[in-house]
Amino acid sequence: MKNGHPKPLRQTWIVLLIFLLPLISCQEKNEISLQGTWRFTMDTADVGIKEQWYLHKPGDRIQLPGSMAGNNKGLDISTETQWTGQIIDQSWYFDSIYAPYRQPGNIKIPFWLTPVKHYVGPAWYQKRLTIPEDWQGHPVEIYLERTHWEVMAWLDSMYIGKRNSLGTPNIFELTNIEPGTHTLTLRVDNRIKIDVGVNAHSVSDHTQTNWNGLIGKLAIRKNPDFEIRNVAVYPDMKDQSAKIVLEVYNHTGEPSNTTLNAVATGEYDYKRHLPPPVEETIKLDPGPNSITARYKLGPEMMTWDEFEPAIYSLVVSVGSGHQYDQCSTVFGMREISIEGTQFNLNGRKIMLRGTLECAIFPITGYPPTSVSAWKKNFKAAKEYGLNHIRFHSWCPPEAAFQAADELGLYLQVECGAWATIGNGEPIDAFIMEESNRIVNAYGNHPSFCLFAYGNEPGGQKQAEYLTDFIHYWKEKDNRRVYTGAAGWPVLEANDYHNIPEPRGHMWGAGLRSRFNRAPLNRNYDYSHVIDRFAKPVVSHEIGQWCVFPDLTEIDDYKGILKAKNF
């Protein structure tokens, strides 16, 4: 095999494992930030792999975390711009009335906000990094919180691998890497190689933009000999306890008896709960191990809901000395279930009052990765009396779940797709893989209450595929409720239906719609719709109607998306 050829690495001096980890915080891992200035170049002809660009220094520079557009990199907008997203009215391209706005220097597109730059294709990012001497012999991982989209990686001349998660961190692990200075090269490609749908809010220029870059936490870190790779927490309300399932990797190559410790702290407002810690002796075989422990919380157990969202912080450790690893995660004691046509949370019926989150971030063109930014958005929803957010055909970063946990919001998360499914195309496997990555990364968060494949599926075999999807997750994880998709179909396997009815303004209704034929009121009866179903119904996208824009807001668009369509 030639150096740099993108096939799995076989050299004996470096052993590579590529996998996706949950976003747990591992306190004892030595870490070097990869934020800052990177070398950069676009690959408009897609020749970089063939020409081995990882062996050369790109001539430009870029700041990460960030996107190409946020660094003013990319191509100018023109009539040749290759947008990601359906354009229903294409008259801008040929109607004479728009001719002045098709001229270079005066481009104004009417179908959505205009980015300062646009680029679809591979781009290369490169950074020099130094592996400390005391990392010798330890496993090392490269942690990229969110890339958009596909990322390939090389260390010096050696190809590491490829990852393509849209909604979770992409992580590469290496072992037996030599201390000293190395060159890390990343090739990020935002072309739609797996057909999640050009209108999916995970990728579309309709909303967050089909950006190219890396955001959030970027780091390289040393892992211990006993490495905690996953911590999953399953609340048991009846037993007043939580089952903890740890995935621990023993890098020593030898079986070992060691100690597992777990400490949980529950908090809400000024209330605290400190249940007795857990300490157990465990055996770790070489390689991967799955360890289960039971954490008794007792009658003083605090529960999580929209009114009193008590959150437990859990710190778990294994081993000692250089074999020691300590990780933290959060969980909430709550149980969501279905009772007839209603949702039940912790034994009490709840009513979802929600809105969509469509990944609309005009300042950056990509989602924030800070808790404070998400709290600002979610508090606005809470102030309107809402308790539910649906992430339309995308999955948010870790910070969104943290904010929702603290504020008491019920989230519907989706696998980044608005696609044709069930035909055996790569999208089918991607959805299953991505759903597992999402649950592994964010499944402990109590706000993660509802889960679906994505939006409005196409395909003659969609019902069969989605039924299998639902059955898979019901059997695997009881911490949330499941539906096949938002929009349709109505499936027997659904825990609840997320369908277009009831809706105050149906497509094509015109003056016959509820909103137009009579003054608004609170006494409207939707029983003629709901009585058709024996399960809860969450109405799908009820707020679609024309509005007059506030033109005074144009000056507020100070980021990478400009309101030039007025």
Residue 542, pLDDT score: 83
Structure tokens at 431: 């959805």
Sign of CA dihedral 233, 366, 413, 547: positive
257 CB contacts (<8 Å, ≥6 apart)?
A: 281, 282, 283, 284
3-class secondary structure, 429: helix
Look-up: residue for tokens 């395909």?
Answer: 459
CA dihedral angle for residue 425, residue 428, residue 434, residue 438, rounded to 10 degrees: 160
The radius of gyration of the chain's CA atoms, rounded to the nearest angstrom, is 25
Distance CA(359)–CA(369), nearest Å, equals 12
Residue 273, pLDDT score: 98
3-class secondary structure, 164: coil
- Amino acid in position 68: M
- 99 exposure class (CB count in 10 Å sphere: 0-12, 13-18, 19+): exposed
Distance CA(514)–CA(503), nearest Å, equals 8
Tell me which residues of the chain have a pLDDT lower than 70: 1-29
Helix, strand, coil percent values for the chain (each to nearest 5): 15, 35, 50
Mind listing the pLDDT tens digit for each residue in 377-420? Answer: 999 999 999 999 999 999 999 999 999 999 999 999 999 999 99
For residue 203, which of 135, 269, 120, 282 has the smallest C-alpha distance? 120
Distances (CA, A) of 147 to 19, 161, 214, 321, 397: 15, 14, 4, 34, 11
Query: Helices in 155-242 by DSSP H: which ranges?
Result: none
Distance CA(542)–CA(468), nearest Å, equals 28
pTM beyond 0.85, yes or no: yes
Is the distance from CB of 217 to CB of 370 less than 8 angstroms? no
Is the distance from CB of 173 to CB of 206 less than 8 angstroms? no
Residue 20, pLDDT score: 35
For residue 9, which of 218, 161, 202 has the smallest C-alpha distance? 161
| Helices 462-476 + 426-442 axis angle, to 10 | 30
Residue 450, pLDDT score: 98
- 48 exposure class (CB count in 10 Å sphere: 0-12, 13-18, 19+): buried
Q: How, if at all, do strands 140-148 and 213-222 pair?
A: antiparallel
The half-sphere exposure of 321 on its side-chain side, counting CA atoms within 13 A, is: 1
Mind listing the pLDDT tens digit for each residue in 27-79? Answer: 445 899 999 999 999 999 999 999 999 999 999 999 999 999 999 999 999 99
